[in-house]
Amino acid sequence: MTVLDHRHTAAVPGWLPGATAPRTDPAPLLPDTAPVRVLGTPAAEKADPALLRELYRRLVVGRRYNQQATTLTKQGRLAVYPASTGQEACQVAAALALGDQDWLFPSYRDTLAVVSRGVDPLEALTLLRGNAHTGYDPRASRTAPLSTPLATQAPHAVGLAHAARLAGDPVVALTMLGDGGTSEGDFHEALNFAAVLHAPVVFLVQNNGYAISVPLTQQSAAPTLAHKAVGYGMPGRLVDGNDAAAVHAVLGEAVERARQGGGPTLVEALTYRVEAHTNADDATRYRQDEEVAAWREHDPILLMERALRELGLLDEQLVQDAADEAEALAARMRAEFHADPELDPMSLFAHVYAEPTQQLREQAAQLAAELAAEAEVHH
């Protein structure tokens, strides 16, 4: 027995009165001990067949979207694309778990979630094409811009959700991050604020194993990333991130809990980034082919197909319709991205502040003069 042991045994009963005492036993907040699974388990039989088929359709279309966008980067038609190939279950389930009144706060890897939420598939790629603007109306779609700085979208989600709660609107905000994002200060501040304010927020961490070349083992010593919830006083859930039905169920519960005033939830979805970080990365430099191959066997579309077949829900028509829709979308992407967009450099200054600052006005005037001078030269 050491002096420190005494601290553990005496802490709660002998705690001094006042505001510093722990308010609840943290043990009930400990995350799931194993990832939640639905597909291939008895729970699949209780799942809504229409939902499973809808998830399948979205997965197939989503995979094709990822493939086509990646190809467009190779042709120089798209500046950068952080593919969510292999992570489509998280992407489509996140979009489906939200209602129309809710808000999504995505990261740069979550274009597919934005599209699955109903934003035009081409508009959703505007930022990644090199435009200064988001390309879609965040207010109309209740979808924040894709966040390039890691985890900054998390405090934004908390702020919006808290404001909505104060206004009495039954809005839930769901924010998506990567495993690397959970090391950012913004992530921790967001969790703390969300728990203290009891904000209706769901944090979805897609643990895809890597932050560019940094594997999770070098990123975090937490037993699971879901454990990070406990210290802030919210539940942490662990789910198989390639099981679309499980991700949908776990997120659905968390969204409902938040809507009913139950506060925030952190969900860790175990998944894998099958492609490189972006088209600017060579993943073979830091991971083995066998690892990728093993995850391809646990692919979200494979899991869903297998489950649908077992349940007698995979008919020719569904397969054909999903494939046709996917090809039509890919063809539209190719056609639309064939030409370079016409950009107005002056639009750079739009939508920054409601009232442009003096500095921005000066910069805008300077750019306008430079453009006019250039036009004169070419005249």
Catalytic annotation, residues: 273, 277, 286
d(CA 106, CA 174): 8
Q: Does 181 bind ligand TPP (CB under 6 A)?
A: yes
Q: Which is nearer to ligand TPP, 22 or 215 (CB)?
A: 215
Rg (the chain; Cα; Å): 23
Q: Which is nearer to ligand TPP, 171 or 191 (CB)?
A: 191
Q: Among residues 109, 156, 162, 165, which is the contact residue for ligand TPP, using CB under 6 A?
A: 109
Q: Among residues 35, 62, 155, 178, which is the contact residue for ligand TPP, using CB under 6 A?
A: 178
Pick the closest to residue 81 from 103, 115, 110, 44 (CA basis).
Answer: 110
Q: Does 179 bind ligand TPP (CB under 6 A)?
A: yes
Q: Which is nearer to ligand TPP, 178 or 264 (CB)?
A: 178
d(CA 314, CA 320): 11
Q: Does 180 bind ligand TPP (CB under 6 A)?
A: yes
φ, ψ of residue 257 in degrees (nearest 5): -60, -45
Q: Does 88 bind ligand TPP (CB under 6 A)?
A: no
- What number of other Cβ atoms are within 10 A of residue 247's Cβ? 30
Q: Among residues 9, 75, 101, 148, which is the contact residue for ligand TPP, using CB under 6 A?
A: 148
Q: Of the ranges 205-213, 253-261, 298-306, 337-345, which one interacts with ligand TPP (CB under 6 A)?
A: 205-213
Q: Tokens for 61, please give them.
A: 């279309």
Smallest distance, Å, CB 235 to ligand TPP? Answer: 22
φ, ψ of residue 337 in degrees (nearest 5): -90, 5
Q: Tokens for 201, please give them.
A: 């927020």
Q: Does 347 bind ligand TPP (CB under 6 A)?
A: no
Q: Of the ranges 25-33, 172-180, 310-318, 349-357, which one interacts with ligand TPP (CB under 6 A)?
A: 172-180
Is the Cβ–Cβ distance between 35 and 226 less than 8 Å?
no
φ, ψ of residue 236 in degrees (nearest 5): -115, 130
Q: Among residues 132, 212, 283, 311, which is the contact residue for ligand TPP, using CB under 6 A?
A: 212
Q: Which is nearer to ligand TPP, 39 or 267 (CB)?
A: 267
Q: Does 273 bind ligand TPP (CB under 6 A)?
A: yes
* Enclosing H/E stretch for 173: strand 173-178
Smallest distance, Å, CB 277 to ligand TPP? Answer: 6
Q: Which is nearer to ligand TPP, 109 or 165 (CB)?
A: 109
Q: Does 58 bind ligand TPP (CB under 6 A)?
A: no
Q: Does 64 bind ligand TPP (CB under 6 A)?
A: no
- String of contacts with ligand TPP for each residue 219-258, x by CB under 6 A: ----------------------------------------
Q: Does 106 bind ligand TPP (CB under 6 A)?
A: no
> Alpha helix (H) ranges present in the chain?
3-10, 43-46, 49-74, 88-97, 111-116, 138-141, 153-167, 185-197, 216-219, 244-259, 289-296, 300-310, 316-336, 358-378
Smallest distance, Å, CB 213 to ligand TPP? Answer: 9
Q: Of the ranges 145-153, 164-172, 314-322, 363-371, which one interacts with ligand TPP (CB under 6 A)?
A: 145-153
β-pairing, 265-270 with 201-207?
parallel
Q: Tokens for 257, please give them.
A: 């809990």
Smallest distance, Å, CB 94 to ligand TPP? Answer: 13
Residue with tokens 């932050």: 211
Smallest distance, Å, CB 13 to ligand TPP? Answer: 41
SS3 336: helix
The residues facing 207 across adjacent strands are 270
Q: Tokens for 70, please give them.
A: 């990646």
Q: Which is nearer to ligand TPP, 61 or 211 (CB)?
A: 211
Is the Cβ–Cβ distance between 244 and 96 less than 8 Å?
no
What does the binding site for ligand TPP look like in residue numbers (CB under 6 A)?
Answer: 109, 148-150, 178-181, 208, 210-212, 273, 277
